[in-house]
Amino acid sequence: MRQLKRVGVFLLLPFFVLIDAHISQLLGSLFPHVQLASHFLFLFLLFETIEVSEYLYLAYCFVVGLVYDIYFFHLIGIATLLFVLLGAFLHKFNSVILLNRWTRMLAIIVMTFLFEMGAYILAIVVGLTVDSMSLFIVYSLVPSMILNLIWMITFQFIFEKFYL
């Protein structure tokens, strides 16, 4: 049964990315002056480090990164690289990160910051954006970090019941 859970979750990951994208679009239409990026998937990946081995977890991150790249960037490499790096970091330090609620909240904030900032820097290098750093921070990074902190506060208890 546990193996079925691992495989089932692996097959559902691309759908979680797409649902996350639609949540971002819905919130973007409600708040048109900011670019909100929902990373509810980070919350799921944070708790999934408990269930799977490191190599399977990195495979999860690779598949999620590929789907994210194809859906958002139309260029394979940016999110794939960032998800695998974040996944390796999470899996290595999961015993510390999953210690209590405050470290999990801090981990979500840090993951959101690293992913958004890494994607912005790589997008500048590749030529996908010409926005200035100050515009990015004010209208994208900070609102996204706040949104993902709200996701963490709201859904942490559900994930704790399911995983811990």
> Which position has the higher pLDDT, 10 or 18?
18
Tell me: pLDDT of 151 over 70: yes
Residue 70: partners with Cβ closer than 8 Å, 6 or more residues away: 76
How many Cβ atoms from other residues are within 10 Å of residue 128's Cβ? Answer: 15
Percent of the chain with pLDDT over 90: 37
Mean pLDDT calculated for residue range 147-163: 86
- For residue 5, what pLDDT is reported? 61
Whole-number mean pLDDT of the chain? 87
What are the distances in angstroms from CA 46 to CA 4, 56, 136, 159?
20, 14, 25, 10
Tell me: pLDDT of 134 over 90: yes
Q: 7, 54 in Cβ contact below 8 A?
A: no
> Which position has the higher pLDDT, 160 or 114?
114
The whole-angstrom separation of Cα 156 and Cα 143 is 19
CA angle 34, 25, 86 (to 5 degrees): 80
- Grade residue 125 by pLDDT with cuts at 50, 70 and 90: very high
For the chain, which residues make up each domain, given as ranges?
A: 1-163
Q: 53, 64 in Cβ contact below 8 A?
A: no
Using DSSP's 3-state secondary structure scheme, residue 56 falls into: helix
- Grade residue 74 by pLDDT with cuts at 50, 70 and 90: confident
